[in-house]
Structure 1
Amino acid sequence: MADNRAKRGGADRRQVASGEGYEVSYFARKHKITKDQAQDLIKRIGNERDKLNAAANALK
């Protein structure tokens, strides 16, 4: 569920909420990386999901 119910939809899905542990865990599991690696990527790159997916694939 979106944190702000007024801001639901596509914009919310394009980002990884680094403050939400379940989103970071899901992202890490999806790319078979550790949660620490996922958090490091978010800190370095930002929370845009497309850029994070590309960076996580480059780690493999």
Structure 2
Amino acid sequence: MPDVKTKRDYRDRDRGSADDDHEVRHFAEQNDVDPDQVPDLIRKVGNKREDLVEAAKELRERS
């Protein structure tokens, strides 16, 4: 979150972060996976959101 709220940019919106609990929970809810699985997905496929969504989809199909 930016210190100056009027100066926001969205350069990293296509990236996921395992360090931000809110972002992990939000991604988990959006993609119907357990929040504990999200950091493992990020380690496995990287932090590109497009790849994470695909990996979450594959994870759901295997379960």
Structure 2 partner of 1:8: 9
2: CA distance, partners of 1:14 / 1:34: 20
For residue 2 of structure 1, report the CA deviation from its aligned partner.
4.7
Q: CA RMSD in A?
A: 2.0
SS at match of 1:51: helix
2:23 pairs with 1:35: no
* Matched letter for residue 54 of structure 1: E
Runs of 4+ in 1 over 4 A off after TM superposition: none
- Runs of 5+ unmatched residues, structure 2: none
Aligned length, in residue pairs: 58
Structure 1 unpaired stretches of 5+: none
Contact 2:18/2:38 (<8 A) preserved: no
Alpha-carbon separation, structure 2, partners of 1:46 and 1:7: 24
Greater Rg over alpha carbons, structure? 2
State the alpha-carbon separation in 2 of the partners of residues 57 and 34 from structure 1. Answer: 12
Q: Under a length normalisation based on structure 1, what TM-score does the superposition of the two structures give? A: 0.79
